[in-house]
Structure 1
């Protein structure tokens, strides 16, 4: 049996990164996890153990998106890079460069290191923030759509558009093989107690802390399906140089509809939301053979993981 090549995962202690690490281990890939601190390495060990895997199959590299230090060692001897790490602030910062600069420059640091190490492909986790936050005549979204960084949006939204654009420009100029996975709102089971923003929303609904939430539409995708798309995009020949939107088959929902799936009541801010967005997952299905879980299963499993961890 041929030994699988080593894969670097940035942001390995995070919500998406932890699922990617565990799915790589399940498929026999040795993993190098890029983390900022020893404490974050311990978190990876715990989430690996929570998935029933042996943490001895995970090496650790210490590197930060804000510095060149450590990235050459992180990529050395790896064939693929899963670049997941990116800042996601709870609040809009006073200085937008606090989010934009590390997102853009951090991505470029990882890509430069991958280029120098001769890595076969980088798969970068982007966001629907890079696709669907600029005005459009209709609400039908595909991989051809881009958020204009010049438009008035939050620092986070602008950071995702700027970072992905910069990554594609670098890959084109340097001949690096790049693929981006572009998820909508990510829900699904969490493997540890440090909760993503989306899972925090579910928790606040279950605990009753959230009585009123913004009236808006958002797409839903399962974190396990995002990880699956990232792994498929890593090796599929047809994925080279492509973007892939990943979203459940159900149309975009509101917070009130999400709460209904949880069996709780939360009031959306009353306003006319206009046309319900239609976000296409056809390309991921066609080129990656990817199939998403139903949104209701995802929401139910999000709540179940919070209960299992004693967080609600």
Structure 2
């Protein structure tokens, strides 16, 4: 069944790959962008390994968020766009503009092209990072909350996601009046990998399984399965009530890094023998941060801070029901082992 043409940006990415899988399974014709045509074979192989042969229903075009070339071709004839691609580095950038400029300008580039092509709706993958940083709350964060980009000590990534999403809403409220926008704000995305490309969340689990994190800082994260985030994108794409809305995607209450580690040990058994549940005191993390770049990434204003968020809006409005967090974490570890990225037992 052909249900319309959908563009997914950044097709080789972790979430984008699962969005493509979900769209193909639902009968859509899909087009996706890649920064380099050399990535096409790897993407098609990853999709095939997941049990779906895209055949002629997947078109691939070359386009980069940092340049105009290719975007008119990418959106031509598409009814919907899932703008999933976004710059993210595992290491802290030398300057915050290395993340902020491509995130903001890339988002506007996609929106302008979509508007010019008569696209009906864009679903933008933002992040909880645009909601829950820089402004501590005693209650769970909700879709009405925004990260303060001017907050002292705010890292480049949440600032980039906040400014990019703000720019998207401003564009639609101004120039793009005929274009519908829906924004998904996922917490840390875990779950099964389709290939060797890994997000920051996956790298965290990889480091734990390899025993590279001998002790853990007191940081809290939301957890959600990538398959459920892809499902939420499709619901947001097609439900008339979703237009003009933001949706937080989290499987439940936030977990400490110690709780994440314990979930891996409980679900993976001997394969998680190297996972440490030891917790570092905050003062020691801050002391080590004077000499270690890795520790400086942990010694942020979020260190030791309890926080939470609610996905009640997505559940009530769109009927979204995510998997439990422990299942998402286990699926991450299992796929790392299955792909030979982390040795099994």
Q: Normalised by the shorter chain, which TM-score bucket?
A: over 0.9
Say yes or no: does 1:222 pair with 2:252: no
- The whole-number CA distance in structure 2 between the counterparts of 1:213 and 1:195 is 21
Aligned length: 310
Question: Which has the higher Rg, Structure 1 or Structure 2?
Answer: 2
The corresponding residue for 1:168 is: 169
Stretches of structure 1 that go unaligned for 5 or more consecutive residues are none
Paired residue for 2:330? Answer: 300
Q: Deviations over 1:201-258 (max 9, x none)?
A: 1111111122123211111111111000001000001100000001012x21111111
Question: Are the structure 2 counterparts of residues 268 and 39 from structure 1 closer, same or farther at C-alpha, using a change threshold of 3 Å?
Answer: farther
**Contact 2:40/2:60 (8 A) holds in 1:** yes
Runs (4 or more) in structure 1 with deviation over 6 Å come to none
Secondary structure, counterpart of 2:81 in structure 1: strand
Aligned twin of 2:251: 248
In 2, the alpha carbon distance for the partners of 1:267 and 1:202 equals 15
Matched residues in 1 for 2:186 and 2:278: separation?
26
1:282 and 2:312 matched:
yes
Matched, 1:201 2:204: yes
Aligned to 2:125: 125
What displacement does 1:137 show?
4.1
Q: TM-score, normalised by structure 1?
A: 0.96
Per the alignment, residue 269 of structure 1 pairs with: 280
Aligned to 1:26: 25
CA distance in structure 2 between the partners assigned to 1:230 and 1:35 by the alignment? 19
Q: Distance in 1 between matches of 2:43 and 2:151?
A: 37
Unaligned runs of 5+ in 2: 266-274, 284-302
Partner SS for 2:169: helix
Shift of 1:275: 6.3
1:266 CA displacement: 3.4
Aligned mates of 1:311, 1:222 — CA distance in 2: 19
Please report the TM-score for the alignment, with normalisation by the length of structure 2: 0.87
Cα deviation 1:112-161 (Å, max 9, x = unaligned):
00000000100000001100002234142000000011223111110000
